[in-house]
A = this chain, B = another copy of it.
């Protein structure tokens, strides 16, 4: 089916394979009149670039976005914003071997099972490069949200056993450290841990957290379009994510209602919550507190140590994966999580515009 679109009003459609001619995205439904230029997009794309540090693949990928439509005189026109990134550094030869077997932890087998064959070059559509379209679109969504005071901050919360210490949180460190951790000390420890993994021809997992501030109460819709449900789908649709939490997440299962409920309190004439176990969402609708979500990322499945698998002829074989592979997905996925969350919030913001008569009367002047 058509599985490459996301969102109802603010709706994106991504396309492209790891080793095809290009990858891209069409952002449809962005309101007219948003100031937007290619540096807004590039700032986001640069955050997912490989080849920048010791702990990521030495591939050099320019990943420069070209905006092809939907902008006029520096502003969105209300029509689709199409963006494209050419593939320049792909060496299909590297991948010829994997055409014939199924890499453990990858989608090789399931694509073959579904479609009868697959584009085996670099994972094709199941490659991490697929997220380029998400990030370019996420940059647009984030720009839109900032116009209404909504800010997203995603970062690495842990890598293997190394956790950040929130008392050492420094926002700039997210962009500076190779781990995208906001705690520089934890980042150093995590780098050491990853160096060890690489020495053992192995890989590691971790956790990404995203905090969304400035969200007005009232975004999200009941039942199936809950903000929590759409955020979960958004984040779980990222390749290596295996769990999603909102607010206190799995910990709520061990709580009592008396501990877990957040009391409402008046503060400066505003309704606020005395705590935020709920992670900013009640009944699927934003409550005005920060939205907090977490994504649990599996270790990179491409490892250099030998593994058992089967080939297309149905024989048991042993393989050793070669090529260029990050020992961890987490740092490069931080901006992807942020982008997906931005897309959900942007759509919810637009959908909420027609939620009540009062909103419509402000627009249509009655």
Contacts and interface: CB of A to CB of B under 8 A. Distances in A.
A308 interface: yes
A116 B32 contact: yes
A3 B223 contact: yes
Most chain B beta-carbon neighbours within 10 Å: one of A5, A81, A278, A300: A5
B250 A355 contact: no
Query: Looking at chain A's contact residues, is the secondary structure mostly helix, strand, loop, or mixed?
Result: mixed
Contacts of A15: 26, 28, 68-70, 79-82
Contacts of A202: 256-258
B350 A360 contact: yes
Given A3-B223, A252-B299, 20 more contacts: A2-B28, A4-B79, A5-B5, A13-B28, A15-B80, A22-B69, A26-B26, A31-B357, A72-B118, A77-B124, A105-B261, A115-B355, A161-B254, A205-B254, A224-B233, A252-B296, A255-B299, A257-B302, A260-B301, A349-B364
A216 interface: yes
Interface string A221-246: 11111101111111111010111111
Contacts of A149: 366
Nearest to A66: B21
A93 interface: no
A115 B237 contact: no
B314 A79 contact: no
B1 A225 contact: yes
Interface stretch (A48-56, A164-172, A175-183, A266-274): A266-274
Contacts of A148: 360, 364, 366
A358 to B, nearest CB: 6
Contacts of A354: 1, 9, 29, 31, 349-351, 353-354
A265 interface: yes
Interface residues of A, number: 169
Interface in A271-327: 271, 274, 278-279, 281-288, 296-303, 305, 307-310, 314-316
A76 to B, nearest CB: 8
B310 A266 contact: yes
A13 B26 contact: yes
A15 B27 CA distance: 9
Given A16-B82, A117-B73, A314-B269, A107 B285 contact: yes
Contacts of A263: 104, 307-309
Contacts of A75: 117
Interface string A69-99: 1101101011111101000000000000000
B33 A356 contact: yes
A352 B114 contact: yes
Most chain B beta-carbon neighbours within 10 Å: one of A33, A66, A224, A281: A224
Contact of A243 (B9, B66, B245): B245
A226 B125 CA distance: 13
Contacts of A349: 354, 360, 364
12 contacts: A9-B9, A15-B26, A17-B69, A22-B68, A22-B82, A72-B117, A72-B119, A107-B222, A147-B357, A244-B244, A265-B316, A352-B363
